[in-house]
Amino acid sequence: MIKSEIPQIVEINAAASARIFIPKSVTEEFLKRVKANVVEKGKQIEVLAFLIGYEDGTIRHGTELLFPSQSGDGAKVDDIGSFGMETSVWIAEQSQTAKIHGSKTTVILWIHSHVQGSTCGYTSIDVHTQFRYSRLMYPGIIGQVIEIKEDGTYVSDYFTLSDVGDDVVAERSRINNLSNVCHDLCTNGRVYVSCQEIIAYTEETISVQDSRHVCEACKKFFPQESSLMKHLGQKSSCRTLFGLERYDAKRVERRIQAWKRHNDTDARIKSQAKYRKKNQETLAKKAALYYSNHREAISQKQAIYNKLNKDTIVKRQAIYDSEHREQVNKKQALYNKKNKDIIARKQAIYYAKHSKVKKKQALQHKRNKNAVAKNRAICPMHCKDVKTSFQSKLSMIYTKQRT
């Protein structure tokens, strides 16, 4: 079903113009897993899947459906890897299609559901996702959106970016980082277009790979094993069906794995660096919030530390300054040059606020000037007296020697 608001005159991207053959069972297999993907209150959340296939000239054939581990809610869903690997790496190295077709393996389709009232069409997040997949990861990929209605029926369509939309999203992605935030800039009907006409269905069977973790009791899916174990710990009925001995053995196994990861210093450092890079903005916001809420306590602790370790700090600073003197001077000179106007402004504000200091400095300068002038006036007379006294002493000594 084509969304009525999308104009049909928009041309389809040339990269997605190849004919695509998709097994009929793809949508059926996807819908089976969508119904079980709910949160605690019974509301459905979005589901993501990739249709892996191979290229035969300009024709593409779908062969394998992959459900990666994912994190989502009622408005968006994110891929967080497959079977402990990056999804793109797993597809290229471990998928059945890659083992058979090798370098011809590609991702034909990314499928996701729209639930809780979201209609069958691209949201702004979907537009940026399509752009990222087609530009950076899987050239020629198209998207399938399946709208799940409250009565259990569904509406489905295939989309790609238009030529105009591709340029618009590229420009907006460069200016604003809006790829993971809903906004109105990329929801125009000209940005994306239905491509139902390039799809053909086949009777071939589809292989399904599911990287998510499912509770055997309530049939709910979880993105990671840790979230499944948390669910089993909270639900005694699910834990009983899972098996108490099996549950305890799994907990012990996870603790051993955690202990090994903790003692693997290199892996821990890499993992921490990866986490910081991925969550840089979130960590910065948390740090700023913490410092604003605990500013006084931090200042007091810092003052106590500085007082107790005053000599050590001075020595370390002196050693650092001596070892990095050139770098420090260069940085300071560069900073002064770059912020010349700001420094002058700050100094003017300081002197305006501290007029007493300025007056004291002027008075001290005046006193020093008078003292210098007085010393200059006294010095020649003093030197003359010393010279006369020295000459008189010499004459007396000479006179005694002659007598």
Q: Which DSSP string do the residues of 297-348 spell out, in sequence order? A: HHHHHHHHHHHHTHHHHHHHHHHHHHHTHHHHHHHHHHHHHHTHHHHHHHHH
Integer Cα distance of 161 and 193 in angstroms? 6
- pLDDT computed for residue 157 by the predictor: 92
The predicted structure's pLDDT at residue 169: 83
User: So what's the pLDDT on residue 307?
Assistant: 92
The predicted structure's pLDDT at residue 6 = 31
Region of 83 (left: φ > 0; alpha: ψ -120 to 50; beta: rest) is left
CB 99 within 8 A of CB 48: no
Contact 179, 126 (CB under 8 A): no
Which tens digits make up the pLDDT trace of 392-403?
666 666 666 555
Q: What is the pLDDT of residue 8?
A: 32
DSSP for 192-232 reads EEE-GGGEEEE----EEEE-SEE-TTT--EESSHHHHHHHH
| pLDDT (0 to 100) of residue 100 | 93
Instruction: Give pTM, 2 decimals.
Output: 0.56
Whole-number pLDDT of residue 270: 80
Cβ atoms within 10 Å, residue 169: 24
Q: Which residues in the chain show pLDDT less than 70?
A: 1-18, 36-42, 173-189, 223, 357-358, 372, 374-403
Q: How many CB atoms lie within 10 A of CB 343?
A: 13
CATH superfamily of 14-211: Cytidine Deaminase, domain 2 (3.40.140.10)
User: Domain ranges in the chain?
Assistant: 14-211, 255-293
As a whole number of angstroms, the distance between CA 132 and CA 138 comes to 9
Residue the block writes with tokens 């402990």? 84
Residues 296-307: pLDDT tens digits?
999 999 999 999
pLDDT at 72: 78
